[in-house]
Amino acid sequence: MKDRFSSFHPIVNFVYFAAVLLFGMVFMHPILQTASLASALLYSIMLNGKKAVTFNVLYMLPLLLVTAVLNPLFNHAGVTILFYLKNGNPITLESIAYGVSAACMFVTVIIWFSCYNAVMTSDKFIYLFGKIMPALSLIFSMVLRFVPRYIAQLKVISNAQKCIGRDVSQGSILARARNGMTILSIMTTWALENAIETADSMKSRGYGLPGRTSFSLFRFDNRDKLVFLLMLGLIAVILTGAVLGENTMRFFPSIKVPDKSLLSFTVYMAYLGLGLLPVIINVLEEVKWKRIESRM
Amino acid sequence: METYRIEDVVFAFPEKEKEALSHISLTIKSGEFITICGKSGCGKSTLLRQLKSILTPHGKRSGKIYFCGQPIEEVDQRTQASEIGFVLQNPDNQIVTDKVWHELAFGLESLGCDSATIRLRVAEMASFFGIHTWFRKNVSELSGGQKQLLNLASIMAMHPSVLILDEPTSQLDPIAASDFLETVKKINRELGTTIIMTEHRLEEIIPITDRLIVMDEGAIIAEGLPEHVGAALNRMKHPMFLSMPTPMQIHAGVSSGLPSPVTVKDGRQWLNAYMSGKTPVAIDIIEDSPKQASAPVIQFKDVWFKHDRNGPDVIKDLTFTVEAGQFYCLVGGNGTGKTTTLSLMSGILQPYRGKILIGGKNPLKMNVKELFTNNVGILPQNPQTLFVKKTVRLDLYEMLSQTALTKEEKASMIDEMVAFAELDHLLDIHPYDLSGGEQQRAALAKVLLLEPRVLLLDEPTKGLDGFFKEKLARFLQKLNASGVTIVMVSHDVEFCAKYGEICSMFFDGSMITTNTAIRFFAGNSFYTTAANRMARHIWSDGVTIEGVIERCQKSR
């Protein structure tokens, strides 16, 4: 299934991920954490399919368990003592709860990052940076052009040297090292020599004139606006909750979850809505498409 | 209206006595198509670079250059950047960014255009050049021809009034080159952009050019309509005449009193007019008596190759034999497996089925020394990949550094090689400062120091002008005469016809036909030399210019 959320403007993508990552790290509240973890899991599976399932089961689940177990072994704060270890240290309910919560947070953030990687491709990243620093975005673009080019050229040089018996794969260890140095030296000369023509080409197209602009194919259209506003609204609700102390709980010395109220319920729903935003967009688009298809 | 007026320009590089340009005067009208030709190092590129201040090399210049009536120094950089488009030789080096669309927008970004303008111009250019199908691709996925087209388009996006091209097709294969020239022609015809270009491939460019300028030693020696310039060069007995289109050369070789043809089509009509009332003479193909069946040097037996497990087969059931002392040419289109075949011979690649024998042995089982010393020598497509040292001399010595020879032996070997390759005046120059033809010879000298018995060449004539090609050919013939077997991959049909002994046509991963050069080209109808295309309705075996001239002269 093709992800539709990726087709939104990079600003929308970026703000979304910035928000979920930040909230995921800061808010330690069982309901919010469960919501965040669930939506991260769902979205990662939607994006990467089977690969995400194996990744989550094989790496994230053990990581979650290990982190959850490790905390109470080293952290002995809390008032509800369950039992004592052989060395006399207490194991407390609070430290176990905190361990589970921290592990959950850790895993959630990692899964969100895996989604981020799939959605924020290099050109989106370059575009965002270009907004802040135009020169930097050109450098990124040039790096992406020249690194593959140099690697290809290295292969050409290595093959040419192989034909006169001077490749890194030929001769004694000492000879190989020497051949490697030679190849690097040829590469450097070649790169510098050819860069002159690149510089000429840039200058001849007016590079260096004052007032350079930065062009991109991305457009901020109405659907971007709609989703962006919706997202900002949800973020505002969540932040209000944070200011009123609804989004965090107390672990030490004793566990205390904020009281449930209409406000806290609204915050939970907003948080779940934010987390599931890409999933909802994908599902809606899919339903719409199915309907069009059935009519055709 | 004139685009450029050049008045008595003299230019010399710093610390050089000799003038690179001497007393050039030229007026270029708006909308003209001007082609400048000449041997490499004659000052063509230096002249072109005078026409845009930011690309002008350091040096002493006198005389005046006016751009649209204004001295070029006084035209501000912004105007020059957008009004004067400049396309350079190497398609790869000119591309700056990683995406096709970004490259198209690069110049406009520099000029500070807003997004809406850039969007429009980029879209226009992509449609005009047919780039829209690969608009979002990475530039690394493009072919050489596409890259050069992209360079042209990204310059045209700035709406220049004059387009300067410095040997833009020298790195392209013939098909891509004619596509490119076709586009340049379209720009000139449909947009009225002034074109000033230097070119080696005159065959295709002369029919569309308004004015041909020939330079030698930094001066203009002939100028005017192509037909007149051709006649003038012929009168001067100038070596550049050998670069003129085949019909012109044949016409000059046969004194007929008819006007000179330029294209193959004109040439055919001229030939018909000339031959009317005469009986065409048949000349038997005199082939060197077939060399007594000598030992096979390279044998391919049912060879199959693919790059990866699930990839398509690149070489399919290839079987052929190269015998000792042959000059073997592999011709054919792009991506038909010619270069892959060379790599298979040198053991860089490995077939997954079938057998390759070099001198009766499998190259993969030989050790490095056995395979590349006294056995197989390879000249890569880009000679720059072989140069290691600061000067040509050091580079040649480096080649012998791993042998157990005494100093005197090394010196005498190198002296011999230098004399053979005519490198004596170039010994203390950095290899990168040599011209294309000289680099080719220096690299060849390097490879020959390993005393190969078989020499594999990959497109040795790429980017060389007619004069250097001739030189390279003589050089290869000398080698061939001394017993070295030569296997050459080339797109250069004329070169193979003139100097090759055996030619093979590659198509779809295997050989379609193999024959002696003359019989091979006489048997093809399209994939053959211009001389043959012009004369094949009368003499199907007239393959080279000399051959056709001889037949014309003998017909009564």
Q: Which of B55, B94, B369 sits opposite A198 (nearest CB)?
A: B94
Q: What is the per-residue pLDDT for A164?
A: 81
Mean pLDDT across the stretch A58-78? Answer: 87
Test A141 with B97 for CB contact under 8 angstroms: yes
435-464 in chain B: CB under 8 A from chain A: 446-447, 450
Q: Which residue of B has its CA nearest to A169?
A: B368
> Cβ contact (<8 Å) for A152 and B52?
no
Output b/e per residue, B261-300; b: 16+ Cβ within 10 A. bbbbebbbebbeebbeeeebeeeeeeeeeeeeeeebbbbb
Strands B194-198 and B211-216: unpaired
3-state per-residue secondary structure call for B364-430: CCCCHHHHHCCCEEEECCCHHHHCCCCCHHHHHHHHCCCCCCCHHHHHHHHHHHHHHHCCHHHCCCC
Average pLDDT over residues A135-148: 86
Is A164 in contact with B105 (Cβ distance < 8 A)? no
Strand, coil or helix: what is B26? strand
CA distance B475 to B457: 13
Measured between CA atoms, how close is A61 to chain B, in angstroms?
Answer: 35
pLDDT of residue A257: 83
Tens of pLDDT, residue by residue over B172-215, are 888 889 899 999 999 999 999 999 999 887 888 888 899 999 99
Which residues in chain A are contacts of B77 at CB distance < 8 A?
206, 209
Q: Which residues, 6 or more positions from B199, have their beta carbon under 8 angstroms from its beta carbon?
A: B35, B36, B37, B165, B167, B168, B169, B205
CA pair distance B535, B523, nearest whole angstrom:
13
Chain B, window 340-399: residues with a beta carbon less than 8 angstroms from a chain A beta carbon: 343, 346, 348, 368-369, 371-373, 376-378, 380, 382, 384-388, 399
The beta-strand segments (E) located in chain A are 81-84, 90-92
Q: Which of A145, A165, A212 sits opposite B96 (nearest CB)?
A: A145
Element (H, E) at B23: strand B21-29
Minimal CA separation from A143 to chain B, in Å: 8
Residues in chain A: 296
Name the DSSP letter for residue B446. H
pLDDT in tens, B267-292: 999 999 988 888 888 877 666 555 55
- Nearest CB to A160 within list B154, B369, B380: B380
User: What band does A172 get if pLDDT is binned at 50, 70 and 90?
Assistant: confident
Residue ranges of domains in chain B: 2-244, 296-553
For residue A163, the chain B residues in CB contact (below 8 A) are: 346, 348, 372, 376-378, 380
CA distance B77 to chain A (A): 7
Say yes or no: B113 contacts chain A, CB-CB below 8 A.
Answer: yes
Q: Name the amino acid, one letter, at A163.
A: C
Residues 6+ apart with CB under 8 A from B239: B39, B466, B467
ipTM of the complex: 0.86
What is the reported pLDDT for B151? 96
CA distance B167 to B90: 9
What does each of the 556 residues of chain B score in pLDDT, given as a tens digit?
889 999 999 999 988 888 899 999 999 999 999 999 988 878 898 999 999 999 999 999 999 999 999 999 999 999 999 999 999 989 999 999 989 999 999 999 999 999 899 999 999 999 999 999 999 999 988 999 999 999 999 999 999 999 999 999 988 888 889 899 999 999 999 999 999 999 887 888 888 899 999 999 899 999 999 989 988 998 898 888 888 889 999 998 887 778 888 889 999 999 999 888 888 888 776 665 555 567 888 999 999 999 888 889 999 999 999 998 899 999 988 888 888 999 898 888 889 999 999 888 888 787 777 777 778 888 988 888 889 888 999 988 888 887 778 888 888 889 988 888 888 888 898 998 888 888 888 998 998 888 888 999 998 888 888 788 888 898 899 999 988 999 999 988 889 999 999 999 999 888 988 988 888 988 888 888 989 999 988 888 888 898 899 888 888 7
Helix axes B246-253, B545-554, angle to 10 degrees: 30
Chain B residues with beta carbon closer than 8 angstroms to that of A211: 112
Q: Inter-chain contact B82–A206, Cβ cutoff 8 Å?
A: yes
Q: Report which secondary-structure segment, H or E, holds A17.
A: helix A10-26
Name chain A contacts of B446, Cβ cutoff 8 Å. Answer: 164
Q: CATH: 1.10.150.20, 3.40.50.300, 3.30.1360.40, 1.20.140.10. Which one for B2-244?
A: 3.40.50.300
Please, what is the angle between helix B392-399 and helix B407-421, to 10°?
120
User: What per-residue confidence (pLDDT) applies to B125?
Assistant: 93
**Is B361 strand, coil or helix?**
strand
Question: For residues B227 and B212, is the Cβ–Cβ distance under 8 A?
Answer: no
B165 vs chain A: nearest CA distance in angstroms?
12
- CA-nearest residue of chain A to B79? A206
- Across the interface, whether the CB atoms of B372 and A201 are under 8 A apart is answered no
Does any CB of chain B come closer than 8 Å to the CB of residue A220?
A: no
Question: Distance of alpha carbon B396 from its chain centroid, rounded?
Answer: 26
For chain B positions 118-157, those within 8 Å of chain A (CB to CB) are: 118-119, 122, 136, 139-140, 151, 154-155
Q: What is the pLDDT of residue B147?
A: 95
Judge: A215–B99 Cβ closer than 8 Å, yes or no. no
User: How close B518 comes to chain A (CA, Å)?
Assistant: 32
CA distance A131 to chain B (A): 13
Average pLDDT across chain A, whole number: 89
Q: B406 exposed, middle or buried (CB, 10 Å; 0-12, 13-18, 19+)?
A: exposed
Q: For residues B436 and B442, what is the distance between their CA atoms, to the nearest angstrom?
A: 10
Is the distance from CB of A129 to CB of A141 less than 8 angstroms? Answer: no
Q: Which one of A131, A178, A201, A214 makes the best mutation probe of the B interface by having the most chain B beta carbons within 10 Å? A: A201
User: How many angstroms separate the CA atoms of B398 and A186, rounded?
Assistant: 13
A148 touches chain B (CB under 8 A): yes
Contact A141 B98 (CB under 8 A): yes
Q: Which residues of B touch A123 (CB under 8 A)?
A: 99
CB within 8 Å of chain B, chain A residues 83-142? 123, 138, 141-142
What per-residue confidence (pLDDT) applies to B81? 93
| Residue A1: per-residue pLDDT | 62
Which chain A residues are Cβ-neighbours of B90 within 8 angstroms? 194, 197
Instruction: Cite the DSSP H helix spans in A27-133.
Output: 30-48, 50-55, 61-74, 93-119, 122-132
Q: Where are the beta strands (DSSP E) in B102-169?
A: 162-166
Give yes or no for a contact between B367 and A162, defined as CB atoms under 8 angstroms apart: no
How far apart CA A282 and CA A263 sit, in angstroms, is: 29
Q: Decide: B34 and B196 in contact? Cβ < 8 Å.
A: yes
Contacts of B450 in chain A (CB under 8 A): 164-165
Which residues of chain A does B373 touch, with a Cβ-Cβ cutoff of 8 Å?
165
Distance from CA of B373 to the nearest CA of A (A): 8
Of B365, B376, B367, B472, residue with least CA distance to B420: B472
**Domain B296-553 coded CATH 3.40.50.300:** yes
Rounded to a whole number, what is the distance in Å from the CA of A205 to chain B's nearest CA?
5
Q: Tell whether A165 lies on the interface with B, counting CB pairs under 8 A.
A: yes
Cα–Cα distance between A124 and A118 in angstroms, integer?
A: 11
Q: Which residue of B has its CA nearest to A206?
A: B81
Q: Are A168 and A158 in contact (CB under 8 A)?
A: yes
Q: Can you tell me the distance from the alpha carbon of A153 to that of A174, in angstroms, rounded to the nearest whole number?
A: 24
Instruction: Quote the pLDDT of residue B348.
Output: 85
Is the Cβ pair B77, A202 closer than 8 Å?
no
Pull the structure tokens for residue B387: 């140069």
Write down the pLDDT at residue A126.
81
Residue pairs between chains A and B whose CB atoms are closer than 8 Å? 153
* Residues paired with residue B303 on neighbouring β-strands, in sequence order: B318
Q: What is the pLDDT of residue B199?
A: 87
Task: Give dist(CA B484, CA B479) in Å, integer.
Answer: 6
User: pTM, whole model, 2 decimals?
Assistant: 0.86
Q: Which residues of B touch A208 (CB under 8 A)?
A: 110
pLDDT of residue B437: 80
| Beta carbons of B371 and A161 less than 8 Å apart | no
